[in-house]
A and B are shown apart, each in its own frame.
Chain A
Amino acid sequence: MAKRRLTSAGKWAILIVFLLWTVIPILLIIVNSFKKAKDIFTDVPRIFFAPTLDNYVNAFTKSDFGLYFANSSIVALSSTIIVIILATFASYGLTSFQLRFANTIANGFLVGKLVPVISMLLPIFVIINAVGLRGTLVGPVLAHVALNLPFAVWLLMGFFRDVPRELEQAALIDGCTRMQAFWRVLLPVVLPGLAAVFILSMQYSWNELLFSLQLTTLETYTLPVGIASFVGAISVDWGLSSAAATVTMVPMIIIGFFVQKYIAEGTTGGAVKG
């Protein structure tokens, strides 16, 4: 019994250490965003301080953070909408028509997920540059569509496969055409899958750095690029960048709580059910 109590104590010790390890870095940045510089730069982390909103005011007025926020929203929303439309059609086509090459095509999509971003970036950069679209939001939108499509198709294929075939066949027997059956019968059933794709694709686009870094210019910077420019500065303004980081990451953390069960399935292409 004593031994069992000891292992139980060890278990809780590990869990609590891991809890602190996970939460403290996030908390530190959020707390710093409400601190004046003199409270951030202390040898011993200062727990009690007079909170201020100066950093947030500065982020939105003295830097172009508001603009980055708008750019990121446009890129994330438009690329996600395109991804959802393309992926829904493709995954329906791949699952409901008993195509002979369906598996091959689906595996082809999955391979796309493994191509290193850097080996896509350089050629796309050259092409976007050549057609004069560099510095517009078209570049990042296109790139994010391609990067998100593979997982979206795989995730939705899983949802379409789970729909009982009888449901679609009943609709067809009742005189629906294929597309009518798709709109009226299948789409409402796979709605949770669309929600998962929406959120996972939004977050990827919201967080993506490399493409946006090279395909945008000052006026079209997205949030990660803006934050990278704060970090890249010789002396980091910790108050301001903490505020920017907090505004960017807190929505993601909150959304994360709601979609955790889809993350396993979405990122593993349905190989692991959440």
Chain B
Amino acid sequence: MTSSTPAMPLPTRRRMSSYARKDLRIAVFLILPAALAIFIVMIVPLGFALVASTFQYSLGQEDKAVFVFLDNYAKFFADPVALRSLLNTVIFTVLSLALCMTIGVGISVLLKSLAPRTGNVFRAIFAMPVLISPIIVSLIWRYMYDPTYGLIYYVLGLVGLQDFGGLTDSATALFSIVVTDVWHAVPFIILVSSAGLTVIPEELYEAARIDGAGAARTLFSVTLPLLVKTLVVLILIRGTDAFRVFDLIYGLTGGGPANSTSSLSIYAYKQAYENNQMGFAMAVAVITLIGLVILFGPLMRNSARGRDD
């Protein structure tokens, strides 16, 4: 017997055998529960948020809700703290993304140049923070940034930079949180870009070497172009994560000092649970979603197209 396999009857539009119809029933039965779960817990709440964002109401007093149409959205763009949160979110996303990608991809390229076994040991250690809960990361870095006992100040003091404001100065607080986010997220970039690097054929590096290309030339002409698909996926995942940042800020500063680290998620959270303005908070949540779609929508369509080939 050769390994030629008889073709299974495929469901076609012309003739759907009872066999195929039964298959279709099984498939629907298999997919439906998961699709329903996503629909109920993700899509329905989104619809609810859209409707609720046009009302002014507080929790537990839904019967006193007043329909205000787009007023909540107008209020957002008239509130300086809201706009500050939007700006903070964009700054945080861009800065964190740029630093994470540069450091993460740089380290993975360095690791690839080591002997495989040494590289793997380093990679395993470098990846340690990847599964640590963000709230614990913020605990760790609260200690690192402690003005009296923190290691950051100790190290900066050694080089005469003890005046660094850290988390308590509104000029440096957001940057300090970015540093923490970089600590937490670079390991993830290293893992994914390393996986992407392993599929680049060795012959291409060989060829580059023969052509006399230096390390920098090889990086920009061979490695990065072939890594583009991985980089797009990484930017998508990391960028959307950074744009939604909540846990880290909640644990490190709570949005302070003077709202200098308030992000859209933190702002929405505070409006909902501290100021008890549910309708307005829903509007902020919807604006966050729209911001995500505007920033990352084009990339997402690209990456979905790339997936099919």
Interface residues of A (CB under 8 A from B): 7, 11, 14-15, 18-19, 21-26, 28-29, 32, 40-45, 86-87, 89-90, 92-94, 97-99, 103, 105, 107-112, 114-127, 129, 142-143, 145-146, 149-150, 153, 165-166, 169-170, 172-173, 178-179, 203, 206-210, 214, 223-224, 227-228, 230-232, 236, 238, 241-242, 245, 248-249, 252-253, 255-257, 260-261, 263-265, 267-268, 271-274
CA distance A267 to B6 in the complex (A): 37
Interface residues of B in 21-67 (CB under 8 A from A): 23-24, 26-31, 33-35, 37-38, 40-42, 44-46, 48-49, 52, 59-60
Q: Does B292 contact A (CB under 8 A)?
A: yes
Chain B positions within 8 Å of A173 at CB level: 6
Please tell me if the beta carbons of B11 and A145 are within 8 angstroms of each other in the complex.
no
Q: Does B256 contact A (CB under 8 A)?
A: no
Min C-beta distance of A50 to chain B, whole Å:
19
- Please tell me if the beta carbons of A224 and B135 are within 8 angstroms of each other in the complex: yes
Q: Are B35 and A105 in contact (CB under 8 A)?
A: yes
Q: Tell whether B192 is near chain A: CB-to-CB under 8 Å.
A: yes
Q: Does B183 contact A (CB under 8 A)?
A: yes
Query: What is the minimal beta-carbon distance from B96 to any residue of chain A, in angstroms?
Result: 16
Assess whether B38 is in contact with A178, with CB atoms less than 8 Å apart.
no
Q: Which chain A residues border B251 with CB–CB below 8 Å?
A: 228, 231
Q: Are B148 and A41 in contact (CB under 8 A)?
A: yes
Binding site for A on B (CB under 8 A): 3, 5-6, 8, 10-11, 23-24, 26-31, 33-35, 37-38, 40-42, 44-46, 48-49, 52, 59-60, 107, 110-111, 113, 122-136, 138-144, 148-149, 151, 154, 183, 187-188, 191-192, 194-196, 199, 215, 229-230, 233-234, 237, 240, 243-244, 246-247, 250-251, 254, 264-265, 268-269, 272-273, 278, 281-282, 284-286, 288-289, 292, 296, 300, 303-304, 307-308
Q: With CB as the reference atom, state the residue of chain A lying closest to B113.
A: A11
CB distance from B2 to the nearest CB of A (A): 12
Known: A22-B187, A93-B27, A129-B60. 8 other contacts (CB 8 A): A14-B110, A90-B30, A112-B42, A123-B46, A123-B282, A165-B5, A236-B139, A256-B128
**Smallest Cβ-Cβ distance to A7: which chain B residue:** B215
Q: A264 to B46, Cβ gap below 8 A?
A: no
Cβ of B122: which chain A residues have Cβ within 8 Å of it?
Answer: 15, 19
Residue contact A210 to B285, C-beta cutoff 8 Å: no
Q: What are 22 sample pairs from A and B whose C-beta atoms fall under 8 A apart?
A: A7-B215, A15-B110, A19-B126, A22-B128, A22-B187, A26-B128, A26-B132, A90-B33, A90-B34, A99-B27, A103-B308, A115-B42, A119-B282, A123-B44, A149-B37, A169-B8, A207-B136, A224-B133, A253-B131, A260-B123, A267-B237, A272-B195
Cβ–Cβ contact A116 & B8, under 8 A: no
Q: Which A-chain residue is minimally distant from B3 (CB atoms)?
A: A166
Interface pair B34/A149, CB less than 8 Å apart:
yes
CA–CA, A43 and B224, complex, Å: 44
Q: State the main secondary structure of chain A at its contact with B.
A: helix
Q: Contacts A41-B149, A93-B30, A209-B247 given: A127-B195 contact, CB under 8 Å?
A: no
Tell whether, in the assembled complex, residue B149 and residue A231 are in contact, meaning their CB atoms are under 8 Å apart: no
Q: A14-B110, A29-B139, A129-B59 are in contact. Are A252 and B11 (CB under 8 A)?
A: no
Query: Would you call A28 and B151 a contact (CB within 8 A)?
Result: yes
| Contact (Cβ within 8 A) A122 B272 | yes
Q: Which residues of A contact B59 (CB under 8 A)?
A: 126, 129
Q: A114-B240, A248-B136 given as contacts; is B37 within 8 A of A18 (CB)?
A: no
Least CB distance, A166 to chain B, in whole angstroms: 5
Q: A18-B107, A126-B52 are in contact. Are A271 and B273 (CB under 8 A)?
A: no
Report the bound CA distance from A169 to B5 in whole Å. Answer: 8
Q: Are A22 and B125 in contact (CB under 8 A)?
A: yes
Identify which of B136, B143, B278 contacts A249 (C-beta below 8 A). B136
| Contact across chains for A272 and B31 when beta carbons are under 8 A apart | no
Bound state CA distance, A126 and B273, in angstroms? 12
B-side contacts of A90, CB under 8 Å: 30-31, 33-35
A268 to B45, CA, bound (A): 25
Q: Which residues of A contact B46 (CB under 8 A)?
A: 115, 119-120, 123
A65 to B200, CA, bound (A): 47
Contact B23 A245 (CB under 8 A): no
Measured in the bound complex, the distance between the Cα atoms of B308 and A231 in whole Å is: 46
Q: Which A residue sits closest to B127, measured CB to CB? A: A260
Chain A CB within 10 A, most for which of B215, B234, B254: B234
